[in-house]
Chain A
């Protein structure tokens, strides 16, 4: 039994709802839309119907009142992520896109810098485009923890009512965004790859991939503020910092939780080698089943070292135990977007492509000319990776004098 109700008097059989349905639950019979048992009542079809023929009947007619209304909310905010006193590059990517949105709305851009001894990051934020920085510098904020960060960001947003709040879609950014959106009772769109302002309404159009990148969806938060979004790594450019820019730094330490009120502690941190920071990597050398074993990855590691690249892997290689999970690219691993992705001995299953298909340039090296990875590769080499990769390493070492 499907919950979706189709008003057959109104339906004009345009088929717009068929396109919006992610579950294949709608079809046209004659010139009327019909729904089958695959409907999950997700509601994605409702807004696309031009004649309002679709409804989920039990739904209340009015929306609950939002804590911060669109009419009173102004300004674009970016949360600046830092780790051990250094700003994450994704934060400056956010400042770039945040500046563009703020200019389109003709409002100031505010950076939120939380940490311990992070005054220099506040000054950096101004160079990267902030008009104003909320700086919370306190020992309770030294390492990221959900509760003190979420408490502070929520309190600031309640007081100052921004219309947009952006965070990087890093582990910390997604952790914090989920907490803050819950407390502010507002909409949050995860992992955006496109952000634009709809001029007439001032609304933020948030575009994101779903279904492992097989579908794109544009999402709005019409009645709640701030409109919150996390944004994927390496989608937006880091702006050129302007150290002459002026901005205001406001200290906000008054709103902090006491250490006794915080029920989590960071006990330890075990850094991983540079080669694992896949999210920020400009170049990734990645290996799959064709690598044949843990020792095979040493060939790829040599190439990665010459290129200053991170080392990735397919699920097949990780599941075989050849390389730790932290390296896994794909649907059950990390999503990456490097300038250059070199896939070695990776067949290119849909789940892998979901994690790397938006890389700018893809080089595929595979023995099998029919491997699906070649469907999305920019450059293809049919051959034995154990011959090609060492030759490439040697050539590049010579060429780049490394």
Chain B
């Protein structure tokens, strides 16, 4: 079976702060990394092709430097990588990103499954996966905690998804798109024997001219329905910490209960 994994290059930490006086972001040279949720998608794809045969293509849209995250994915065992990169894609919101990734997936030819992480840790939207599925007209199964079975011959997949009230078991027709949770597996480390190959691999860079049938008006910033108008630091939590003390655990418990009672919490 053929599986395409969509990944995102994200900052390795989301700990960003504004300088209180200059109001600028205080960020040291932050390295980029594969979005943590996407590692589970890569791992699941590799396991599926190990069980059923086939190959894994890893796909990202981003600036030229995102190539490094594709090499990291190749070092885990993915067979092929494609970088979607062009000034025309720049500034894309989730709609335009999903539109572009879907066009690339169509371009890559027949495939059984697209896997994505449930969301990226920088934007935190979780919208690109469903966006791709619906641009392609494929079924989606989001928040997958386990794939129970895949039957590429009959084109069926059964997966468990984690909802607020419990776990739902869903069957879908292939090709389908799944977004996966951390619970699904433990990602492997890069394989030392693959590092050299990953470093040397030719990674095709596709721009808008490589994507057949895309409407250029739907790409990048100008193709994005949403606009960011303001970015600001979140309000700080108000008030100082109140230390709850006492001569014994029982006394501390009583003092805390008093506070919670006064706050109307118990």
A391, B25: Cβ atoms under 8 Å? no
Which residues of B are found within 8 Å of A263, using beta-carbon distances? 139, 172-173
Which residues from chain A contact B77 at a C-beta distance below 8 Å? none
What bracket does the count of chain B residues touching chain A fall in?
Answer: 35 or more
Nearest-CB distance from A62 to chain B (Å)? Answer: 7
Q: Please state if A363 and B257 are interface contacts (CB–CB under 8 Å).
A: no
Task: Report the Cα distance A46→B221, complex, angstroms.
Answer: 10
Inter-subunit contact B139/A147 (CB<8 Å): yes
Mark interface residues in B229-261 (1 if CB within 8 Å of A CB, else 0): 111111001010111110011101110110110
Which of B161-176 touch A at CB < 8 Å? 161-173
- Pick the residue among A59, A354, A395 that contacts B257 (CB under 8 A): A395
Q: A20, B170: Cβ atoms under 8 Å?
A: no
Taking CB atoms and an 8 Å cut-off, the chain B residues in 1-33 that contact chain A are 11, 13-18, 22-25, 27, 30
In the assembled complex, the CB of A394 is this many whole angstroms from the nearest CB of chain B, namely 7
Tell me whether A267 and B164 are in contact in the complex, defined as CB-CB below 8 angstroms, given that A331-B14, A392-B257 are known contacts: no
Question: Known: A268-B169, A350-B14. Contact between A19 and B125, CB under 8 A?
Answer: no
Contact with A along B63-105 (1 / 0, CB 8 A): 1110000000000000000000011101101110010000000
Q: Are B140 and A146 in contact (CB under 8 A)?
A: yes
Q: Of B14, B143, B218, which is within 8 A of A212 by CB?
A: B14
Interface contact A190-B125, CB-CB below 8 Å: yes
Q: Is there an interface contact between B127 and A43, defined as CB atoms closer than 8 Å?
A: no
Q: CB-CB contacts of B160-204 with A at 8 A, as 1s and 0s? A: 111111111111110000000111000000000000000000000
- Min Cβ gap B31→A in Å is 10
* Contact status B230-A217, CB under 8 Å: yes
Query: For the complex, is B55 an interface residue (Cβ under 8 Å from A)?
Result: no
Output the least CB separation between A337 and chain B (Å).
13
Which one, A24, A88, A170, A380, contacts B242 given CB within 8 A? A380
Known contacts A178-B130, A214-B17: does B217 contact A219 (CB below 8 Å)? no
A235 contacts chain B at the CB level, 8 A cutoff:
no
Q: Are A271 and B227 in contact (CB under 8 A)?
A: no
The CA of A178 and the CA of B99, in the complex, are separated in Å by 12
Q: A47-B229, A189-B226, A332-B36 are in contact. Are A171 and B161 (CB under 8 A)?
A: yes
- Residue from the list A20, A182, A183, A396 in contact with B231, Cβ < 8 A: A20
List, in ascending order, chain A residues with CB within 8 A of B151's CB. none
By a CB distance below 8 angstroms, the chain B residues around A183 are 134
Is the C-beta of A161 less than 8 angstroms from some C-beta in chain B?
no
Q: Which of A66, A145, A269, A276 makes the CB contact (< 8 A) with B225?
A: A66
Contact (Cβ within 8 A) A272 B127: no
Per a CB cutoff under 8 Å, which of A46, A145, A170, A325 touches B164? Answer: A170
A171-B142, A325-B145, A382-B243 known; A59 and B91 CB under 8 Å? yes
Bound CA–CA A179/B249 (angstroms): 52
Q: Which residues of the other chain, A, contact B139 by a CB distance below 8 angstroms?
A: 146-147, 263-264
Cβ of B147 under 8 Å from chain A: no
Give Cα distance in the complex from A391 to B246, angstroms: 12
Does B141 interact with chain A (Cβ within 8 Å)? yes
- The verdict on A71 contacting chain B, using a C-beta distance below 8 Å, is no
Interface pair A270/B241, CB less than 8 Å apart: no
B25 touches A210 (CB 8 A): no
Chain B residue numbers with a CB within 8 Å of A215 are 16, 231-234
Tell me whether B228 and A190 are in contact (CB under 8 A).
no
What's the minimum C-beta distance from B200 to chain A, rounded to whole angstroms? Answer: 23
Bitwise, B108-141 to A at CB < 8 A (1) or not (0) is 0000000000000111111111110111000111
Please tell me if the beta carbons of B225 and A174 are within 8 angstroms of each other in the complex.
Answer: no
A269 touches B169 (CB 8 A): yes
Nearest residue (CB) in B for A28 is B24
Cβ contact within 8 Å between A174 and B127: yes
The answer, among B36, B183, B252, B266, for a CB contact under 8 Å with A388, is B252
Residues of chain B contacted by A266 (CB below 8 angstroms): 168-170
List the B side residues contacting A182 at CB < 8 Å. 95, 98, 130-131, 134-135
B232 partner residues in chain A, CB cutoff 8 A: 19, 215-218
User: With A59-B220, A332-B37, A379-B256 known to touch, is A214 a contact of B87 (CB < 8 Å)?
Assistant: no
In contact, A267 and B158 (Cβ under 8 angstroms): yes
Q: How far is the CB of B16 from chain A (nearest CB, A)?
A: 5
Please tell me which one of the listed residues B127, B167, B234 contacts residue A269 in the complex, with CB atoms under 8 A apart.
Answer: B167
Complex A-B: 13 CB contacts under 8 Å: A41-B87, A60-B222, A190-B127, A191-B125, A267-B171, A270-B160, A271-B166, A332-B37, A340-B260, A379-B259, A381-B256, A388-B252, A391-B249
**Residues of B participating in the A interface, judged by any CB pair closer than 8 Å:** 11, 13-18, 22-25, 27, 30, 36-37, 62-65, 86-88, 90-91, 93-95, 98, 121-131, 133-135, 139-143, 145, 158, 160-173, 181-183, 215-218, 220-234, 237, 239, 241-245, 248-250, 252-254, 256-257, 259-260, 263, 265-266
Given A221-B226, A363-B260, A378-B239, 20 more A-B residue pairs with CB atoms under 8 Å apart are A23-B30, A24-B25, A41-B90, A43-B221, A48-B230, A57-B87, A83-B165, A177-B127, A188-B127, A217-B228, A263-B172, A264-B139, A264-B141, A379-B242, A379-B243, A381-B245, A388-B253, A390-B249, A394-B250, A395-B254
**A residues with CB within 8 A of B:** 1, 3, 15, 18-24, 37-44, 46-48, 56-64, 66, 83, 88, 143, 145-147, 150, 170-172, 174-175, 177-179, 181-183, 185-191, 205, 209-224, 263-272, 276-277, 279-280, 283, 307, 324-326, 328, 331-333, 339-340, 350, 354, 357, 361, 363, 374-383, 387-388, 390-392, 394-396, 399-400
